[in-house]
Amino acid sequence: MTTWDGAAAAERVAITSDQDVVRVRQLVRTLAVAVKLSLVDQTKIVTAASELARNTLVYGGGGNAEVSRVDNGRKPGIRIVFADEGPGIPDLDLALTDGYTTGGGMGLGLSGARRLVDEFEIDTEVGKGTTISVTKWCR
Amino acid sequence: MERVPVLKIGDILLVSIQIDMEDQVALQLQEDLADKIVSTGCHGVIIDISALDIVDSFVGRTLATIASVSKVLDADTVVVGMRPAVAITLVELGLSLPGIRTALNVELGMKLLAQERERYELDLEDEDEESAVPTP
């Protein structure tokens, strides 16, 4: 059982199936409650995590998510880093456009997830993979 | 794999999603509902999402597809019980769920479906009367 005490607490989940996407959601929810995010912010970060975990699975061909508690000295927060070794994203601007999709979805995963978090960083290289880091701070 | 039960109550199919659904479970529900609409001839579907603490784009899209498929099969769909935080998050995500009727709870959803059906049947009667009048 994860207790999430200590600022460095982190947990890594492999994402290789539908069930793992559910597992990421549940892990993020547990930590979001533990760091006392507001109900709306909990909902936003869990939703963003669900979108990004699915992207890791569907577009990245699987990978992992590392969920950790962070602290910037003034307030606590939650950070999730999604990493895959998939094909990478050739045109990042296009991929971040609402409604753009190559996978038959609604094209809201990446752009929508970015709107739901406080910090969003993406590092991608064609042929190497993609790493996305999102952070949500307590208000 | 878990499965979401579909209950028949009179002319309505009621689905209450009580689990954190894997994508496959959501797709299975979509199929089960289409089958059940045809086998029962029900004209209304109520999907209760009051137990869901998030609705992401996949579940949102599945709900929209269920509504469209039911419409083609002559049934109206109402999504009920969305939590306020879920509504805020959905809109910010960019998902406005076009084509989905919503109501605050199951009771209001049933009322909405009853009104919808009444209006539809009145329209049918009107059409019958019009076609019955011989053209002079």
What pLDDT digit, counting tens, does each position of A10-30 carry?
Answer: 899 999 999 999 999 999 999
Domain assignment present for B97: yes
Instruction: Pick the residue of B56, B61, B62, B100 with the most A CBs within 10 A to test the interface with A by mutation.
Output: B56
- Per the structure, the complete domain to which residue B123 belongs is given by 6-130
CATH code for the domain in which residue B109 is found: 3.30.750.24
Helices A39-58, A18-34: axis angle to 10 degrees equals 150
Using one digit for the tens of pLDDT, what is the confidence trace for B7-29? Answer: 999 999 999 999 999 999 999 99
Q: What percentage of chain B reaches a pLDDT higher than 90? A: 79
Cβ partners under 8 Å of residue B7, min gap 6: B13, B14, B15, B16
Query: Which tokens in the block code for residue B99?
Result: 């084509």
Interface confidence (ipTM) of the complex: 0.88
Chain A residues with CB inside 8 Å of B22's CB? 18-19, 21-22
**Chain A residues within 8 angstroms (CB to CB) of chain B:** 18-19, 21-22, 25-26, 29, 39-40, 42-44, 46-47, 50-51, 54, 98, 105-106, 108-109, 111-113, 115-116
| Segment A70-127, tens digit of pLDDT | 999 999 999 999 999 999 999 998 888 888 887 767 777 899 999 999 999 999 999 9
pTM of the model: 0.90
Under DSSP, the state recorded for B135 is P
**Burial class (CB within 10 angstroms; exposed 0-12, middle 13-18, buried 19+) of B130:** exposed
Q: Which domains does chain A have, with CATH numbers?
A: 10-137 (3.30.565.10)
Residue whose pair of structure tokens reads 């059982």 in the numeric block: A1
In a domain, B22, yes or no: yes
Query: For B65-120, how does the pLDDT look when each residue is reduced to its tens digit (9 = 90+)?
Result: 999 999 999 999 999 999 999 999 999 998 888 779 999 999 999 999 999 888 88
How far is the CA of A124 from the CAs of A87, A109, A127, in angstroms?
9, 16, 9
Q: How many CB atoms lie within 10 A of CB A93?
A: 8
Closest residue, chain B, to A26 (C-alpha): B20
Name the domain count of chain B. 1
Size of interface A-B (CB pairs under 8 A): 72
